[in-house]
Amino acid sequence: MARPLPTALMRRALRLPGALRKALYWGYEQRLARAVAEGGRVPKHLGMILDGNRRYARAMGVGRELGYEFGIDKAHEVLQWCLEVGVPAVTIWVLSTDNVKRDPDEVRHLMGLFDREARNLARDKRIHANRVRVRAIGQHHDFPVNVLEALSELEAATAHYDGMLLNIAVGYGGREEIVDAVRTYLRKADEDGLTLRDVADTLNAEHVSAHLYTAGTPDPDFIIRTSGEIRLSGFMLWQSVYSEFYFCDVYWPGFRRVDFLRALRDFQGRDRRFGK
């Protein structure tokens, strides 16, 4: 299996002329791609926390709006990589319930981007050619009507597909998801004529799992977070109990294919014991 370039070699590579440095990295990327292909095992469900758009923009000396645009372009690119390696299900976290409380102008800008990108995805030839089924998960009741319509149209346009499942976690929070799942279960139990004591005596983990936003999808076996933050921040709290984690220092818009391949190779080297 290919190994990372030695630190000394990496330092020397940074001093090489641009074309030569690019060729060196291209060669390393090809080695990683072969190693991942030979490793065989890819995540059945990959979770991705797309963090660092605003910090990337600051580092580049541009406005935060442009940082989000870079982040959208990167999301399209990374989803293509997922298709290429054959990941069956991907959940990307693009907006948390806490993010919705940010500066109103920033939130309005984000909602405009969601409207635009949902409509673009509904027409994207790659989505249809690869039969990608798209779902928007989270709490959307406070979203503008145009955004709700765009998300609904995207889901409807891909609902019949049987290729990769793409969950877009927008207006999402892990605690809120668990509360919503319990609330939904309690309402169903009430409709079935169960008393509160009946529910308390019989409630189990499967009841909650069956009412999560991701119900019917395997729990994520691998979660990647960019930007250097080493925490989940509420991402898929219930589902991630046995997930493997990978924290990458690079900001989301700067996430390269070589970073993606390194993460997958790292996953392939893990010994998953599921608490045993």
In the annotation, is 192 catalytic?
Answer: no
Q: Which of 51, 115, 124, 259 is catalytic?
A: 51
Distance from C-alpha of 137 to C-alpha of 34, rounded to nearest angstrom: 34
15 is in an annotated binding site: no
Q: Is 131 annotated as a binding residue?
A: no
> Nearest CA to 88 among 256, 222, 201, 248?
222
Q: Is 20 among the annotated ligand-binding positions?
A: no
Is 231 annotated to bind ligand?
yes
Q: Is 9 annotated as a binding residue?
A: no
Residue 264's SS3 state is helix
243 labeled binding residue: no
Q: What distance in Å separates the CA atoms of residue 225 and residue 263, rounded to the nearest whole number?
A: 10
Tally of CB atoms within 10 A around 148: 17
The response to whether 40 counts as a known ligand-binding position is: no
- CA distance linking residue 234 with residue 77, whole number of Å: 25
Tokens 């921040």 belong to which residue? 233
Residue 202, annotated as binding a ligand:
no
In angstroms, the CA 154 to CA 138 distance is 15
Judge whether 271 counts as a catalytic residue.
Answer: no
Catalytic option among 99, 120, 130, 146: 99
Can you say which residues are annotated as belonging to the binding site?
Answer: 51-55, 64, 96-98, 102, 225, 231-233, 244
Can you say which residues are annotated as belonging to the binding site for substrate?
Answer: 52-55, 64, 96-98, 102, 225, 231-233
Can you say which residues are annotated as belonging to the binding site for Mg(2+)?
Answer: 51, 244
Catalytic residues: 51, 99
